[in-house]
Structure 1
């Protein structure tokens, strides 16, 4: 990937078990615009990588910064960073290390993570990776609203197990400037009013939202995977967020 234009960039990162392919439908709409939208697969989620189960949050954050470098992202020309679901852990780390490189962060049915957080603190060390659970069990954890049988089958067959080290690693954040990065929450499976109420109440999953200095919210009612259930609308929400001033 090389820098070929001065048009704004958008980097999209999907959550657990997913690679760049998860954004295909959204990219069809985003790339009709003048922005350069690029989806990436985090280390550990490339099914062809024999060492993927050893990857860490640090590896994932480093890979995001590598993509920034390939796109020519700089303090003078920052990018819009889009994170879905469990991509919030590595993206929170990127924001902590280089907030100046991000024009705006867009959390898709997700949000910033507080320092010290661990996604799966009880996951035994002996567990090398965590596969996608059966869809019946997944539906108990997150809303599958809007997903057809065909989409669910594609999800099941293309999902890559999540590396154990990523799920067990505590997130260490030290730079409060991450909270100054303009932020948009795209709220799908939980309405924005409820998210903000939980943030004000100090709920562990949403408490960091209350610390953000520049926050916008967009409601996009659907399930937890809007890149499939409402791809066009999600693309428009991302485009709108990316065009907002910092």
Structure 2
């Protein structure tokens, strides 16, 4: 199976480096994506939009030789879901790690300060999100901040565009790192507005993966196991 790996904000395809070998050893074709403007801190990000990121994922789906397992991390889940909406007949299952699809017309993530058209990674302790990085040691955390790539502001603030209701027929594995599967189910059942899209998906499997928000960096073996389990599901 073709497994397309979509990074979350401030990351590029290299965040999946420790996950890819296990997927390939299992006989799959892994394709970690580096989205437009995210190759490095020095890359040009001028004028890049959410549509550019979604189109890059759609292109990867189109290039796949067979059914696709589409994996998104964090806000990459929203980007991946928008690509799934464009190609619902090509995606066998989606895996959303630490994130979920954004509703039609909503931004991926609004409210973070932008400078010169870019949004830098915040200090998670300063914004009260220590749980995001609870499983990093000091060296890993310093590397995360040092290597974080600013995100084009329009990737975060442009409204998500969803059109094809067949997206709700594509099964989803929702992987829960810094929150639990019971938490996420409760938020969905409670009608949380930002989870309205996930609530409409007809087949959702909830999987606990205790730790921080970036398990592909801190526990890649377990992330690979979860992805392989999803690939094996009908």
> Please, what TM-score do these two structures have when normalized by structure 2?
0.92
> Which residue of 1 is the match for residue 133 of structure 2?
144
Q: Counterpart of 2:213?
A: 224
Assess, with a 3 A threshold, how the Cα gap between structure 1 residues 144 and 203 changes in structure 2: closer, same or farther. same
Residue in structure 2 matching 1:193, options 156, 170, 182? 182
Residues 215-224 or 138-147, more deviating:
138-147
Consecutive unaligned residues of structure 1, counting only runs of 5 or more, are 1-7
**Residue in 2 aligned with 1:38?**
31
Is structure 2 residue 199 aligned with structure 1 residue 205?
Answer: no
Match of 1:4 in 2: none
Q: Partners in 2 of 1:243 and 1:11 — Cα distance?
A: 15
1-structure distance, mates of 2:106, 2:137: 33
Which residue of 2 is the match for residue 17 of structure 1? 10
Name the CA distance, whole Å, in 2 between partners of 1:27 and 1:39.
8
Distance 1:128 1:37, change over 3 A: same
C-alpha spacing 1:139/1:234, structure 2 compared with 1 (3 Å) = farther
Mapped pair 1:239 → 2:232: no
Bigger Cα displacement from structure 2, 168-177 vs 61-70: 61-70
Do the aligned partners of 1:198 and 1:207 also contact (CA within 8 Å) in 2?
Answer: no
Deviation at 1:129?
0.3
Measure how far apart 1:83 and its partner are: 0.2
CA deviation string 1:114-144 (max 9, x = no partner): 1111134456787500011235336626521
Give the match for residue 5 of structure 1: none
- Of stretches 125-134 and 52-61 in structure 1, the one that deviates more from structure 2 is 125-134
Contact 1:200 1:207 in 2 (8 A): no
In structure 1, the residue corresponding to 2:125 is in which secondary structure? helix
Q: Residues 161-176 of structure 1 correspond to what in structure 2 (within 5 A)?
A: 161-176=150-165
Q: In structure 2, how many angstroms separate the alpha carbons of the residues matched to 1:39 and 1:208?
A: 25
Q: Report the 3-state secondary structure (helix = DSSP H, G, I; strand = E; otherwise coil) of the residue aligned with 1:68.
A: helix
TM-score, normalization: structure 1? 0.88
Task: Answer yes or no: is the 8 Å Cα contact 1:53–1:164 preserved in 2.
Answer: no
1:216, distance to aligned residue in structure 2 (A): 1.1
- Closer, same or farther: CA 126–221 of 1 in aligned 2, 3 Å: closer
SS at match of 1:136: coil
Q: Deviations over 1:71-127 (max 9, x none)?
A: 33xxxx210000000112321211111111101000001112111111344567875
Root mean square deviation of aligned Cα: 2.0
Counterpart CA distance in 1 for 2:114 and 2:127 is 23
SS at match of 2:17: helix
Q: Aligned partners of 1:90, 1:189: CA distance in 2, in Å?
A: 20
